[in-house]
Structures are given as structure tokens and as C-alpha cells.
Amino acid sequence: MKRYLVLEDGTVFAGTAFGANVEKFGEVVFTTGMTGYQEAITDQSYAKQILVFTNPLIGNYGVNVDDNESIDPQCNGVVCQEVARVASNWRMRDTLGHFLEEKGIPGISGVDTRKLTKILREEGSMKGCLVDSDNKEEALKRISEHDYSGFLAPVVSTTKPYPNPGPKRNVVLIDYGVKHSILRELSARGCNTIVLPYTAKAEDVLRHHPDGVMLSNGPGDPSTMTEAAKMVAEVEKQVPVFGICMGHQILALANGAKTFKMKFGHRGFNHPVRELATGRIMFTSQNHGYAIDPKSIDPAKIEVTHEEINDGVIEGIQLKQYPAFSVQFHPDAAPGPLDAVDLFDKFMKLIDEGKESNQNA
């Protein structure tokens, strides 16, 4: 069956339909990961986006029950050059096509993804749609009329608190679209984690008596997260804070910085980042279309700790007055390199130092 990817500039790519038989609209973005299509599709940071895979073949090892980063993924489409006709892996429980069909996500194969990616790199990420009709004018009209709200936390966040039990440190995690791999890293360190919705206020967080607070990843425009920034501005004075991706941007906003929309973002599992204090280079998993504006940073409040080697984008900060830090990339990876997983240990150290200080006070 034919399917068409239509971009807002009028470019049309024809291909073969797979996945769900629905039409979807969204921001068209690309990821450079060679593997990890399941984790990318189920990453809630891709909510309402149409995801282009630059790797020419996906689906070859199917889908399994262990590597989902969410139960109900919210991405609005998958674009690839080729989807494997036969999938094989000892952990496989489903094919990619059937998985997308069950989750209501349309896919299109047979697309020249090199050409498409070049367009997105030169022109920037743009609005688009996956449709089964070749009526370009109608598709463009619908693209222009579609609501592309940048406030997406309500789409992906939990509505009620829930526990992720452990025997050691008490951590409150604010869910802006959390990846399961973050919870796995906290569990591996014995954390007793309470997950709260994005609407949590400072008093909601502190009534759980946390030893530390995590701010998760998530989709959308960070400038819409004003209430979250107000909450963080209060909580950071009380306990250690660690932010990842959207959480990184919210920590910056809470301390007077601003964010901006990037031309085409960083999405993939091979982004080199430099730790400024040591010069150490790490390869990282990334998925973000916004970044911190370096001109907006108050050096009396915020220290930049990491930067992207390719374009100099700020990839990490820490506060000078409080035990709080954040990174734009994903130290939990899933998939990708584990070069930065020790940042979770840094968070544990800040928690333990805070608890010891309170006991001695």
C-alpha cells in the first residue's frame, strides 16, 4: 500500500506503508543511531514527532519486552529506507511492523532518507504528515491547520504518583516523560524512588522527605514549563537535584537562564561531549531540539560543565550555590554508550554528603 510523507515546504516522499493504518502529523526529525530503534520509538521525548532513521535498515532484530522506554509511546510516525522483511533475535517477541500497528503509529519505508536528512539539516526540522493520499495541496492545508503545541508534558507524564521501591536513598523523580532506563539506574543504586507528575509543586515534593530530586527527560518546548521551574527554584534550596534533558533545561530556567530552539537538534547515540573541568571526551546518547542560551547564563549562579564538541552547545551545568547539576544528554543511554553513567554515582554522592551534613548539624 502506498503512503506519503509530506513536508510543509511541499516536498513529498512516496513509499510503502507499514505499521498502523492511520494518518498522523508532527515535527519531522532525524536520529543518527545505528541501532536502538525500539528505544528511540518508545522514548517519550519524541512525542508528537515523526521520526526519521538515517540507518538504512531497521526492524532486523524485532521488538522485545525489555527494551521499551515507555509502555505507550507517543511518537507520530516512523520513516525509514528499509524495514526488515524477516526479523530474528533470541529476545524478540514481536516484529516492528506489528508493534507499531498495535501502538497506533504509522510507518513508511522506501524513502530516500539520505536526501530527506539533507533537507532537514539544511532547512531545519519542519512540520509534516504521513498520509495515504497523494493530494499534496490537501495535505499542506491540513499541516498548516494542525496544532503543534510545544506544551507536551500532559501527554506523557503520569497522572498519579507511584513507587519504584528500593532499600536505600529516598529519591523523588518528577516525570516529564521519563525513560524507564533512568528508573533502572536508580534501582541499581538501591534508591527508593517516588515518581510524581509534572504538576508537582515544591510542597508536594518535600512532603515525601526526599534525600534528592531527579528531573526527568521529556518532550516539548522547555519555555512552557514555567510552573516546573518555580518548583525547582524552591526545591534546589533544600535537597540535591539532578536533571536530565528536559530536566536540565528546567534547572537552567529556574536559575534565570533561557532556552532556544535548535535548527535540527541532536538525536542519536554517537554525540561527543567534553567535560570542561578535565578535558575528558565521552560519547553520549542525545535527543533534544532545544538548548540553553549561553548568553542568558548568570555566571554567579551557573557553571557550564559540559559542551558538545560538534557545535559547542551547552551539555551540562551545575549550580554554584546549591548541590544541583544537570546534563542535556542521557547518561542512562539505552541504547548507546555508558561513558557518562557515573553521573548517577555523582548524584548519590551529593545525596550522601547532604544526609551526613544534616546528621551532624
Which of these is catalytic: 129, 245, 248, 266?
245
**Residue 218 marked as a ligand binder:** yes
- The model's pLDDT over 88-119, given as tens digits with 9 standing for 90+, comes to 999 999 999 999 999 999 999 999 999 999 99
129 noted as active-site residue: no
Q: Which of 116, 145, 174 is the last residue before a domain boundary?
A: 145
Catalytic residue among 43, 211, 332, 339: 332
290 known ligand binder: yes
For residues 177 and 102, state if they share a domain.
Answer: no
What integer is the mean pLDDT of 327-349?
Answer: 94
Q: Can you give the pLDDT at residue 82?
A: 98
289 is in an annotated binding site: yes
One domain for residues 140 and 186: no
- Res 359: pLDDT: 65
Dmax over CA atoms of the chain, in Å, equals: 71
287 marked as binding residue: yes
pLDDT of residue 315: 98
Domain boundary among 124, 145, 166: 145
Instruction: Give how many domains the chain has, as a whole number.
Output: 2
Asked whether residue 290 falls in the same domain as residue 251, the answer is yes
220 is an annotated ligand-binding site residue? yes
Looking at the fold, whether 231 and 312 belong to one and the same domain comes out as yes
Residue 355: its pLDDT value, please? 75
pLDDT in tens, 210-247: 999 999 999 999 999 999 999 999 999 999 999 999 99
CATH of the domain at 314: 3.40.50.880
- Asked whether residue 187 is marked as a ligand-binding residue, the answer is no
- Catalytic annotation, pick one of 180, 248, 288, 330: 330
pLDDT at 185 over 90: yes
Type of residue at 211: D
* Residue 245 a catalytic site member: yes
Q: What is the reported pLDDT for 104?
A: 98
Q: pTM score, two decimals? A: 0.96
pLDDT confidence tier of residue 360, bands split at 50, 70 and 90: low
From 145, 179, 211, give the residue that closes a domain.
145
- Work out the mean pLDDT of the chain and round it to a whole number: 96
Q: What pLDDT is stored for residue 361 in this prediction?
A: 56
With b meaning 16 or more CB within 10 Å and e meaning fewer, what string describes 304-315?
ebbbbeeeebbb
pLDDT of residue 334: 86
pLDDT of 286 strictly over 70:
yes
User: Is 332 tagged catalytic?
Assistant: yes
